[in-house]
C-alpha cells in the first residue's frame, strides 16, 4: 500500500491476531535488546509506515491512531511538505552549534513563535531545546534567574518530564521511585479538577476550594516572596485530560501578579492547534490571564526533536550567558520541520480542524455517556478529549481494568487508544488532525463496540 492510499484507508485487521508473526519476531528481539522499563506489553505493535492518521504494522494490519505519538502527530504521519523541508535542509547541512555560528532557521522560527505566542508582553524572545522536559526545566531556570527566587509551585496530576528537576515536578510517585534526592523548594497544590472536588460543592465553590488550597502553600510551605514561578498545564495531559477552569486561571494570574511570581503554561502536549486555538493559552489571554512564559514541544516539529520557551524579552534576557543552551538545541533540521509545520497549520487552519473533530467526537462521547453507566466525566477542549470510565457514576470509583480491556479490544479492531490519569481510567483522544470524517466515524464505531465487549467480559 502506498502512503497516499494509507492516508485515506480505514482501520482493518488483516491477520487474526495482533501481534502478527513479523511483529512478534521484532518484539522478542526488543525484549532482549532494550531495558525492561521500555518493554510494556499493552501495545504489541510494530510500525512499518504511517500516513495521515493511519499506520500499517509489519504484518499489514491497518490502524487508526488516536494516540498520535502522545500529541506529537497533530499534522499526521509523514506530511509531504515537512518531508520536503527536511530533505532540503539535510542537503545543505544537518547541524551547527548555535552559540558558535548562527543559522537562519533558528532565528526565523524564533521570530515566528514570538509573533504568535499568547504570553504577556509585546517584545518576546524564544529559546529552543530538544524535548518537553528540557523546555520546562529551562523555563524554570529562566524564571529563577529573572525573579532571583528559588521556589516552584506545581500541581497534582502534573507531568513535566523525567529530568531530575522535572521528575520532581511530575506528580506520579511511581515514576520517581529511587531517583532522588530532588531539588528543594518545590511545592504542590491540587490541580483544579472540579468533577472530583469535595462532595456537594458547586462549580464556583470547587474553584474557590482550589484557590484556597493554593494559598495554603504561602501560609504553610513558603512565603510568596520566595516563589519564582508556578507551572501549569492549561489542559492537563498525563494527569487525566483535565482543562483548568478559566475562573481558577484568572485567580492564579492575580496571585502571581500580586506577588511577583511568574506563571508558566506548559503547552508541551496541548499546544500546536490541539485545543482549537494555536496555543491553549489564547483562551487564558482572552480572559485577561495570559501566562508569562509558554513552553511547547511534541507537535512543534512533527516528530523531530525540538521544544521552545517563549516569554517577554526582559524575562528571557535575565538568564546569564552559559546558563542555557546545548549541543543540539535548535538543530537546523528540526527548525526546518517546525517552520514547515507552522506554514501548513496556519494555511490549512489546523485549529479549525481541531474544533471540527472535537465537536463530532464530543457529541458522540456525550451520547455514549447517556447510554452507558460506566462512563463518568467526559471533558475536552478542541480535539483534546478525555473519557473517564467509572465503576459507578455515584461513587466515581475508577474502572481501571475496564479501560485496559477497552484499549486491548480496540487494538484488535484497528484503533489505537491510550489511557491516562492517576488511576489509568481515562481514555485520551489525541488523533492526528488530518483524520478524515469517514475515519472518525469508523473510529467511533470501533470505540463503542470495544467498550461493549469490555463491559461484557
Ligand atoms: C505537559 C507535558 N510536559 C512535559 C512533557 C515531557 O516531554 P518529553 O517527554 O518530551 O520530555 C510531557 C510529555 O508527555 C507533557 O505531556
CATH of residue 359:
3.90.1150.10
Residue that is last in its domain, among 332, 347, 362: 347
Q: Is the pLDDT of residue 69 over 80?
A: yes
Q: Does the residue 70 lie in any domain?
A: no
Q: Does the residue 419 lie in any domain?
A: yes
Given phi > 0 = left and psi -120 to 50 = alpha, else beta, which region is 277? beta
In order of 131, 248, 336, the CA distances from 296 in angstroms are 9, 22, 16
Q: Is the pLDDT of residue 196 over 90?
A: no
Full 3-state SS string of 26-50: HHHHHHHHCCHHHCCCCCCCCEEEE
Q: Is this prediction's ipTM beyond 0.85?
A: yes
pLDDT at res. 200: 81
pLDDT tens figures, 356-365: 999 999 999 9
Domain count for the chain: 2
The reply to whether 287 and 188 lie within a common domain is yes
Report, in angstroms and rounded to the nearest whole number, the Rg of the chain calculated over CA atoms: 22
The reply to whether 17 and 100 lie within a common domain is no
Q: Which of 14-23, 245-254, 342-351, 398-407 has the lowest mean pLDDT?
A: 14-23
pLDDT at res. 357: 98
Q: Does the residue 315 lie in any domain?
A: yes
227 pLDDT band, cuts 50/70/90, is very high
The reply to whether 269 and 148 lie within a common domain is yes
Q: Does the residue 171 lie in any domain?
A: yes
Q: In the predicted model, what is the mean pLDDT of residues 230-241?
A: 97
Going from the Cα of 266 to the center of ligand 1, the distance in angstroms, rounded, reads 9
Q: Given the CA of residue 162, which atom of ligand 1 is nearest to it?
A: 11
Q: Is the pLDDT of residue 16 over 90?
A: no
Please tell me whether residue 356 adopts helix, strand or coil conformation.
helix
20 pLDDT band, cuts 50/70/90, is very high
The reply to whether 29 and 127 lie within a common domain is no
The reply to whether 414 and 291 lie within a common domain is no
Domain range for 36 is 3-65+350-456
Minimum CA distance residue for ligand 1 atom 8 = 132
The reply to whether 313 and 407 lie within a common domain is no
Pocket of ligand 1 from Cβ distances under 6 Å = 70, 131-133, 136, 159-161, 233, 237-238, 266, 268-269, 297
Q: Is the pLDDT of residue 166 over 80?
A: yes
Q: Is the pLDDT of residue 41 over 80?
A: no
Q: Does the residue 76 lie in any domain?
A: no
Instruction: Return phi, psi of residue 235, to 5°.
Output: -135, 105
Q: Does the residue 205 lie in any domain?
A: yes
The reply to whether 103 and 13 lie within a common domain is no
Query: What's the grid cell of residue 423?
Result: 488511576
Residue that is last in its domain, among 347, 378, 406: 347
The reply to whether 329 and 407 lie within a common domain is no
Going from the Cα of 13 to the center of ligand 1, the distance in angstroms, rounded, reads 31
The reply to whether 318 and 372 lie within a common domain is no
pLDDT at res. 98: 81
Residue of 74, 161, 238, 271 to test ligand 1 pocket, by largest number of atoms within 8 Å of CB: 161
Q: Is the pLDDT of residue 157 over 80?
A: yes
Q: Does the residue 156 lie in any domain?
A: yes
Q: In the predicted model, what is the mean pLDDT of residues 301-318?
A: 98
Q: Does the residue 74 lie in any domain?
A: no
Q: Is 275:283 a contact under the CB 8 Å cutoff?
A: yes
DSSP run (H or E) holding 231: strand 227-232
User: What whole-number percentage of the chain has pLDDT above 90?
Assistant: 92
Nearest to 45 by CA among 412, 402, 299: 412
The reply to whether 277 and 414 lie within a common domain is no
CATH of the domain at 342: 3.40.640.10
Going from the Cα of 200 to the center of ligand 1, the distance in angstroms, rounded, reads 34
Residue that is last in its domain, among 347, 369, 393: 347
The reply to whether 45 and 113 lie within a common domain is no
The reply to whether 60 and 143 lie within a common domain is no
Amino acid at each position: 500500500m502506498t502512503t497516499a492510499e494509507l492516508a485515506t484507508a480505514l482501520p482493518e485487521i488483516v491477520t487474526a491476531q495482533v501481534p502478527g508473526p513479523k511483529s512478534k519476531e521484532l518484539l522478542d528481539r526488543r525484549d532482549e535488546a532494550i531495558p525492561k522499563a521500555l518493554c510494556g506489553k499493552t501495545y504489541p505493535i510494530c510500525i512499518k509506515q504511517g500516513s495521515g492518521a493511519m499506520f500499517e504494522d509489519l504484518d499489514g494490519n491497518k490502524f487508526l491512531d488516536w494516540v498520535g505519538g502522545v500529541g506529537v502527530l497533530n499534522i499526521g504521519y509523514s506530511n509531504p511538505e515537512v518531508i520536503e523541508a527536511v530533505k532540503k535542509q539535510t542537503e545543505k547541512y544537518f547541524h551547527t552549534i548555535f552559540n558558535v555560528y548562527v543559522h537562519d532557521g533558528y532565528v526565523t522560527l524564533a521570530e515566528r513563535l514570538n509573533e504568535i505566542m499568547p504570553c504577556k508582553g509585546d517584545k518576546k524572545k524564544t529559546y529552543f531545546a530538544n524535548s518537553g522536559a528540557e523546555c520546562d526545566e529551562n523555563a524554570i531556570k529562566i524564571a529563577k534567574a529573572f525573579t532571583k527566587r528559588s521556589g516552584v509551585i506545581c500541581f497534582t496530576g502534573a507531568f513535566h518530564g523525567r529530568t531530575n528537576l522535572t521528575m520532581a515536578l511530575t506528580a506520579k510517585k511511581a515514576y520517581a521511585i529511587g531517583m532522588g534526592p530532588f531539588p528543594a523548594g518545590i511545592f504542590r497544590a491540587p490541580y483544579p479538577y472540579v468533577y472530583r472536588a469535595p462532595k456537594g460543592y458547586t462549580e464556583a465553590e470547587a474553584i474557590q476550594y482550589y484557590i484556597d488550597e493554593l494559598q495554603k502553600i504561602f501560609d504553610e510551605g513558603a512565603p510568596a516572596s520566595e516563589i519564582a514561578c508556578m507551572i501549569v498545564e492549561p489542559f492537563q495531559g498525563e494527569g487525566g485530560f483535565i482543562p483548568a477552569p478559566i475562573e481558577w486561571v484568572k485567580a492564579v494570574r492575580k496571585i502571581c501578579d500580586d506577588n511577583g511570581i511568574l506563571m508558566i503554561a506548559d503547552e508541551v502536549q496541548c499546544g500546536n492547534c490541539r485545543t482549537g486555538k494555536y496555543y491553549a493559552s489564547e483562551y487564558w489571554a482572552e480572559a485577561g490571564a495570559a501566562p508569562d512564559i509558554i513552553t511547547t514541544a511534541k507537535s512543534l516539529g512533527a516528530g523531530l526533536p525540538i521544544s521552545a520557551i517563549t516569554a517577554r524579552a526582559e524575562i528571557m534576557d535575565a538568564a546569564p550567558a552559559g546558563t542555557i543552551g546545548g549541543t543540539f538545541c535548535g538543530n537546523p533540521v528540526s527548525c526546518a520541520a517546525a517552520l514547515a509545520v507552522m506554514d501548513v497549520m496556519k494555511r490549512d487552519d489546523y485549529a479549525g480542524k481541531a474544533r471540527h473533530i472535537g465537536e463530532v467526537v464530543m457529541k458522540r462521547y456525550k451520547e455514549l455517556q447517556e447510554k452507558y453507566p460506566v462512563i463518568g466525566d467526559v471533558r475536552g477542549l478542541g480535539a483534546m478529549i478525555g473519557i473517564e470510565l467509572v465503576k459507578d457514576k455515584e461513587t466515581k470509583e475508577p474502572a481501571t481494568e475496564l479501560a485496559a480491556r477497552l484499549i486491548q479490544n480496540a487494538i484488535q479492531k484497528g484503533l489505537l487508544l491510550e489511557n491516562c490519569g492517576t488511576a489509568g481510567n481515562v481514555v485520551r483522544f489525541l488523533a492526528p488532525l488530518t483524520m478524515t470524517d469517514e475515519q472518525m466515524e469508523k473510529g467511533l464505531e470501533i470505540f463503542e463496540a470495544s467498550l461493549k465487549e469490555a463491559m461484557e467480559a
